[in-house]
Amino acid sequence: MIIHTKGLVLSQFKYGDNGLIVKIYTEAQGIKSFMVDKGKARKGKIPKSAIYQPLYLLELVTFWQEKFTFGRINESQVLKPFHAIQMNAHKRALSMFLLEVLLKCLKEEEENVPLFAFLNESFSWLNSAEDGNFEVFHLSFLLELSVFLGFGVSEEAVLLEQSGVVEELSSESSQYLSHLLNSRYDSVKPMPRSVRPVLLSLLLNFYAQNIPDFGQIKSLTVLREVFL
C-alpha cells in the first residue's frame, strides 16, 4: 500500500552497517518506523539520508505491507528543517526533551490530523520564537499534549490528584499553574526560574500516572543544566 503523507521525524538510530531505523509521526498513519539506507554521498554532496534528522518535517511517499515491521520510504523531501531550533542551545534542549516525551506517549498507528497539526504548529512556533519568549513552552506544550492524549485537565485540584502529589503547591506556583492551565504556549507570561522545575516535576508525575511505562526522561538532565 502506497501512502502520501507529511511526517515529523522523532528519532533515528543506526541499524547494521549501512542502515537507519527512523521513527516518524505521520499525518496519515500516526507513529511509524521506517528502514532507510544511509547510502554513500557523492563527492561534495550530502547523502539523502541526512534529511531524516529529528524535528525535520517531511513530505513522504511510503510503502507498507502489514506483514513487515518497518515501512519503506519511496520519496521524501524537506518541508521544514526547523534550523533555528537546531542552532539555539536552549531551543534544542527543550525540543530534545519533548521528543523523548513524545516517543514515550505516541503509540497509535492511525490518522490523527488534529494532533499532527498541533505538533507542526507548536514546533514551528518554537522555531520562530525570540529569546526570552519560550522559557515555559515545554510546560504549556505538555498540558496541551495531554488533551490530545485523552487525559487533559483544566483544574489545578484535578491535576494534583492525578499526579499523586500530597503536598499543596506554594501560592506562587499555584498562581502560575492556574495561568498555564488557561493559556496557550504563545500567550503564557514569563515565570520565575524557581517555579519552572516545580511545575515540570508535577507535570512529569502527571504523565507517569497516565502513560504506562512512562519511566525516566534521560534528556531531563541536559534540560536542567542548560535551561531550568
Query: What CATH number should be reported for the domain holding residue 207?
Result: 1.20.1440
What burial class does residue 176 get, using C-beta atoms within 10 Å of its C-beta: 0-12 exposed, 13-18 middle, 19+ buried?
buried
Of 80, 97, 114, at which residue does a domain stop? Answer: 80
Q: Which domain does 10 fall in, by range?
A: 2-80
* 210 within 8 A of 203, measured Cβ to Cβ: no
pLDDT band at 3 (very low <50, low <70, confident <90, very high): very high
Strands 57-63 and 30-37: unpaired
What's the Cα-to-Cα distance from 104 to each of 79, 98, 118, 214, rounded to whole Å? Answer: 25, 10, 17, 6
Could you tell me which residue, 131 or 228, shows the higher pLDDT? 131
- The answer to whether residues 65 and 98 belong to one domain is no
Look at residue 44 and tell me whether its pLDDT is greater than 50: no
Query: How many domains does the structure of the chain reveal?
Result: 2
pLDDT band at 122 (very low <50, low <70, confident <90, very high): very high
Percent of the chain with pLDDT over 90: 75
Look at residue 39 and tell me whether its pLDDT is greater than 70: no
**What per-residue confidence (pLDDT) applies to 47?**
63
- The answer to whether residues 51 and 151 belong to one domain is no
pLDDT tens-digit profile of 83-101?
A: 999 999 999 999 999 999 9
- The answer to whether residues 180 and 94 belong to one domain is yes
Domain CATH code at residue 15: 2.40.50.140
* 101 within 8 A of 137, measured Cβ to Cβ: no
Look at residue 38 and tell me whether its pLDDT is greater than 80: no
- The answer to whether residues 12 and 111 belong to one domain is no
- The answer to whether residues 161 and 56 belong to one domain is no
| Ramachandran category for residue 55: left, alpha or beta (phi over 0 → left; psi -120 to 50 → alpha) | left
Instruction: Give dist(CA 23, CA 141) in Å, integer.
Output: 21
- The answer to whether residues 11 and 124 belong to one domain is no
- The answer to whether residues 88 and 105 belong to one domain is yes
pLDDT band at 41 (very low <50, low <70, confident <90, very high): low
- The answer to whether residues 20 and 92 belong to one domain is no
- pTM given for the model: 0.92
- The answer to whether residues 134 and 222 belong to one domain is yes
